[in-house]
Structure 1
Amino acid sequence: MNKAFVKKYGTLLLLATGAGIIFQLPYIRETFYVPIQNAMNLSNAQMGLLSSGYATMSLFSYFIGGIIADKFSARKLLTFSFIATGILGLWFSTFPGYTISRVIFVLMGISTIITYWSACIKATRMLGTDEEQGRLFGLQEGLRGIMNALLVFGMTAAFTRFADEVAGASAAIKVCSIVVIIIGILNFIFIEDTKKEENSESLAEITKGMFKALLIPRVWLLVAIVFTAYSVYGLIAYATTFAQQFYGLSAASAATLGGVRYLIQGAGGIVGGFLADKMKSRFKVIIGGCIGLALSFGLFIVMPSKASLCVMVVANFFVGLFFIYAVRSQYFAVHDDAGIPINMSGRVSGIASCLGYTPDIFMYTLVGSWMDNYGRTGYNMTWAYAMIAAVLCAIITFILSRIVKKENAQKTA
């Protein structure tokens, strides 16, 4: 095993581990929704507003992060990001009240995005050739899931040690926060500093380039792919809460499912990535995955609320997870298919993330109010929303694939 191979995939493993674990804290509701809700006595709409506060700050942070990724040292930025997020997580583990918790989530919108996200995507693209993009992003998504699973199982073990679910949730958040801080230290030790000549563009030139990228039509299609696929990804997380409320799933089992979902992320991401490279098309993986997702959400709508169907609900959740992680592993890999040059990778991924992740701002508050006001019907409205988003994602991806195919045919003519 040569040194270059070890360095390449060792770096990928560290990037993947960080990419998963750093987002555990702002998205902690996905694993411990009910215990946190009970600990702070919050409504579903208020739980949604915590996420919306994080998302609103993230919206600006993605854009700024795209500029920063093409300018500053990854090592220093990543180290700051993890340590700051870990400290905020320790603060949240004390459940300091709704208002302060909103402030914490807003600050996480800075610490987990500006100094991390676009730099991570650019670093992943730079690890390999055009032919390797599918597997690199697939492996990153898959390894991210496996490392997340290990962390969530550790958090669940901490949660179940306490009879009081409030104390258990606090302990789980502390475990996550400490791991995040440790990852920050590892980034400082192992990530190489960017050479000065690699950051030769001035901040003004990079910022100008960011706005120029907004004039490229394909960039807007990449934004639309992320927007629709991310909507589906965000909504599938409610399946465990759905199973708890209508099919008798216990809180401990729901937390365990939070860990299992990341193992499925490992499978979906890796299979999706290698399949994309084998078929020589990241587009086909996204389109096929979205069709599977639309069918999976449709099944949630037609299933009656019977405890005996709990296993079927969980199995359908797993199928949906496999498809969404296969799709998610490729929606930044298609930047290469769309002809986005590597020196624009940070800013284009910043734009795609900034605008593509905007469902975070309104979606959780909207579906939270549906669930509060309409019960089971509110969940069905949520699943219908997800179905529409999945179908739109498939259509937009098909349109982009036709544009790229047409452009390539003109170049070779």
Structure 2
Amino acid sequence: MDKAFIKKYGTLLLLAAGAGIIFQLPYIRETFYVPIQEAMNLSNAQMGELSAGYATMATISYFIGGLVADKFSARKLLTFSFLATAVLGWWFSTFPSFNTARLIFVLMGVTTIITYWSAVIKATRMLGSSEEQGRLFGLQEGLRGVLNWLLVLGMTAVFVRFADQVVGTQWAIRVCAIAVGIIGILNWFVIEDTKAEENAESIKDVTLGMFKQLAFPRVWLLVAIVFFGYSLYGIFGYVNTLAINVYGLSAAGGATLGAFRYLIQAFGGIVGGFIADKIGSRLKVLIAGATLTGLSYGLFLVLPEDVALLGVVLGNFVGGMFAIYLIRSVYFAIIDDAGIPVSRTGRVSGIVSALGFLPDVFMYTMIGGWLDNNPGKSGFNMTFIYAIAMAVGCIVMSLILSRVIKRDKDLHNAVDTETVAAAAE
């Protein structure tokens, strides 16, 4: 087999493995929300505060991650990131006090972002040409889903082996922490040491250069698209809780559903990426995904509170989750559509990540309050109305960016035509 092919897709697999497994711990609520909530006796608002603490620190970390990555060895940074996150995950598995748990999640906002995320988007983009961006990002999302699925299946198998749900949850989290630690060790032996660039910009120049990107309207359109798209993804995690609390799904069934979503991620991510490259438009795939996701949330909104409808809820979960991963497969690939030079990918992706992922800072606390103050399905209905608004926003911003790209392309073609005509004279 061609060595270049092995290197290219081996690197992609490593990027997907890191991004998939390391984020399981700070987002553990997506699979074990109810068991963790009951084990620690937390309200929905407190569960949201844990996520908000992580997200607040992550937002800061997105901005500074690129600066750190330029100054230190990638091998050392990645190894530290995974091993430190594994230790924090094991600590959380002891179910400490709420304030201690908040500290753990804030620290994970450092260990999972600064030393990893800043490089992953640029590294993926640089693996192929402009025509390959959809499939590269889609394959990364898909591979990430497969690895997440296998990990969560293992965590769920451990969870159901214990009669005591608290002990089962503890050991499920510990399995995840062990997996993260193993990835850290592999990074130490597989990743080559990198040397600092001889002519690297100073931290001041890099920081100023990053903030200069805020002057470009396209960057703000990218921020808006990721903000709305990421909101749609984050809200879908509550469908698991809805199925348990309103439609009678068991806690073990909820954990299994949490694992199944990653299998959908694998399929949706790969399909979305390849379709985008086939039709030559990542934005069309994004718009289609946002439309289907909005319709899925609309169905959840109108479904009555009846345990007999659990099958419909689960079916809609599958369809909606597939649509969401169509969005996730391309919402960073559109950096290429927007005409952002590769040399500015790291800075732009840092800004887009920091501002686009802001829903993590406030959304879960807000939704947790809705669920606490509006028992039954009414709190979930408020959440779904908000989600539909996010879907509309994603569609509108995507259409605007599409118009901007088309306008600039037409202008460029017109200039080229005039230049040819002038040369002919």
Task: Find the counterpart in structure 2 of residue 86 from structure 1.
Answer: 86
Q: Secondary structure at the match of 1:24?
A: coil
Query: Is 1:101 matched up with 2:101?
Result: yes
CA shift, 1:195, in A, is 4.7
Matches within 5 A, 1:360-379: 360-375=360-375, 376-379=377-380
- For residues 130 and 192 of structure 1, the distance between their equivalents in structure 2, rounded to whole angstroms, comes to 27
- Check 1:348–1:100 CA distance in 2 against 1; reply closer, same or farther (3 A cut): same
Greater CA drift, 279-288 or 401-410 = 401-410
Matches within 5 A, 1:373-388: 373-375=373-375, 376-388=377-389
- For residues 189 and 202 of structure 1, the distance between their equivalents in structure 2, rounded to whole angstroms, comes to 30
Greater CA drift, 194-203 or 1-10 = 194-203
Task: Find the counterpart in structure 2 of residue 274 from structure 1.
Answer: 274
- For residues 152 and 173 of structure 1, the distance between their equivalents in structure 2, rounded to whole angstroms, comes to 10
CA shift, 1:73, in A, is 3.4
Q: RMSD between aligned alpha carbons?
A: 1.2
Task: Find the counterpart in structure 1 of residue 401 from structure 2.
Answer: 400
Provide, for residues 7-37 of structure 1, a one-character-per-residue CA deviation record: whole Å limited to 9, x for no partner: 1101101110110111100010110011111
One-letter identity of the residue aligned with 2:150? L
- For residues 351 and 226 of structure 1, the distance between their equivalents in structure 2, rounded to whole angstroms, comes to 11
Q: Secondary structure at the match of 1:163?
A: coil
Task: Find the counterpart in structure 2 of residue 124 from structure 1.
Answer: 124
- For residues 198 and 278 of structure 1, the distance between their equivalents in structure 2, rounded to whole angstroms, comes to 41
Q: Determine if contact 2:70/2:197 at 8 Å carries over to the other structure.
A: no
One-letter identity of the residue aligned with 1:368? G
- For residues 195 and 137 of structure 2, the distance between their equivalents in structure 1, rounded to whole angstroms, comes to 24
Greater CA drift, 148-157 or 372-381 = 372-381
- Check 1:411–1:195 CA distance in 2 against 1; reply closer, same or farther (3 A cut): farther
CA shift, 1:71, in A, is 5.2
Q: Determine if contact 1:67/1:206 at 8 Å carries over to the other structure.
A: yes
One-letter identity of the residue aligned with 2:273? G
Q: Determine if contact 2:39/2:95 at 8 Å carries over to the other structure.
A: yes
- Check 1:57–1:68 CA distance in 2 against 1; reply closer, same or farther (3 A cut): same
TM-score by length of 2: 0.95
Provide, for residues 245-302 of structure 1, a one-character-per-residue CA deviation record: whole Å limited to 9, x for no partner: 1111000000001110000000010000000000111100100000001100000011
Provide, for residues 213-272 of structure 1, a one-character-per-residue CA deviation record: whole Å limited to 9, x for no partner: 111111111100110011111100000100111111000000001110000000010000
Task: Find the counterpart in structure 1 of residue 420 from structure 2.
Answer: none
CA shift, 1:406, in A, is 1.1
- For residues 65 and 292 of structure 1, the distance between their equivalents in structure 2, rounded to whole angstroms, comes to 34
- For residues 53 and 205 of structure 1, the distance between their equivalents in structure 2, rounded to whole angstroms, comes to 29
Q: Determine if contact 1:66/1:348 at 8 Å carries over to the other structure.
A: no
Task: Find the counterpart in structure 1 of residue 207 from structure 2.
Answer: 207
- For residues 360 and 12 of structure 2, the distance between their equivalents in structure 1, rounded to whole angstroms, comes to 27
- Check 1:153–1:38 CA distance in 2 against 1; reply closer, same or farther (3 A cut): same
Q: Secondary structure at the match of 2:215?
A: coil
Q: Determine if contact 1:296/1:316 at 8 Å carries over to the other structure.
A: yes
- For residues 324 and 71 of structure 1, the distance between their equivalents in structure 2, rounded to whole angstroms, comes to 36
- For residues 151 and 347 of structure 2, the distance between their equivalents in structure 1, rounded to whole angstroms, comes to 31
Q: Determine if contact 1:90/1:177 at 8 Å carries over to the other structure.
A: yes
One-letter identity of the residue aligned with 2:341? P
One-letter identity of the residue aligned with 1:303? L
Provide, for residues 147-168 of structure 1, a one-character-per-residue CA deviation record: whole Å limited to 9, x for no partner: 0000000000110110001000
Task: Find the counterpart in structure 2 of residue 412 from structure 1.
Answer: 413
Q: Secondary structure at the match of 1:4?
A: helix
One-letter identity of the residue aligned with 1:380? N
Task: Find the counterpart in structure 2 of residue 173 from structure 1.
Answer: 173
One-letter identity of the residue aligned with 2:175? V
CA shift, 1:69, in A, is 4.2
Q: Secondary structure at the match of 1:247?
A: coil
Provide, for residues 346-382 of structure 1, a one-character-per-residue CA deviation record: whole Å limited to 9, x for no partner: 1111100111111111111111111111121110010
- For residues 110 and 196 of structure 1, the distance between their equivalents in structure 2, rounded to whole angstroms, comes to 22
Greater CA drift, 67-76 or 229-238 = 67-76
What is the identity percentage for the equivalent residue pairs of Structure 1 and Structure 2? 66
Larger Rg computed on CA atoms = 2
Task: Find the counterpart in structure 2 of residue 246 from structure 1.
Answer: 246
Q: Determine if contact 1:67/1:346 at 8 Å carries over to the other structure.
A: no
Matches within 5 A, 1:13-162: 13-69=13-69, 72-162=72-162
Task: Find the counterpart in structure 1 of residue 3 from structure 2.
Answer: 3
CA shift, 1:70, in A, is 5.1
Query: Is 1:299 matched up with 2:299?
Result: yes
One-letter identity of the residue aligned with 2:145? G
One-letter identity of the residue aligned with 2:207? T
- Check 1:214–1:68 CA distance in 2 against 1; reply closer, same or farther (3 A cut): farther
- For residues 343 and 282 of structure 1, the distance between their equivalents in structure 2, rounded to whole angstroms, comes to 21
Q: Secondary structure at the match of 1:241?
A: helix
One-letter identity of the residue aligned with 1:112? T
CA shift, 1:96, in A, is 1.1
One-letter identity of the residue aligned with 1:410? L
- Check 1:215–1:69 CA distance in 2 against 1; reply closer, same or farther (3 A cut): farther
Matches within 5 A, 1:296-375: 296-375=296-375
Q: Secondary structure at the match of 1:193?
A: coil
CA shift, 1:68, in A, is 3.3
One-letter identity of the residue aligned with 1:357? F
- Check 1:216–1:198 CA distance in 2 against 1; reply closer, same or farther (3 A cut): farther
Q: Determine if contact 1:67/1:350 at 8 Å carries over to the other structure.
A: no
- Check 1:33–1:84 CA distance in 2 against 1; reply closer, same or farther (3 A cut): same
CA shift, 1:211, in A, is 1.1
Q: Determine if contact 1:66/1:351 at 8 Å carries over to the other structure.
A: no
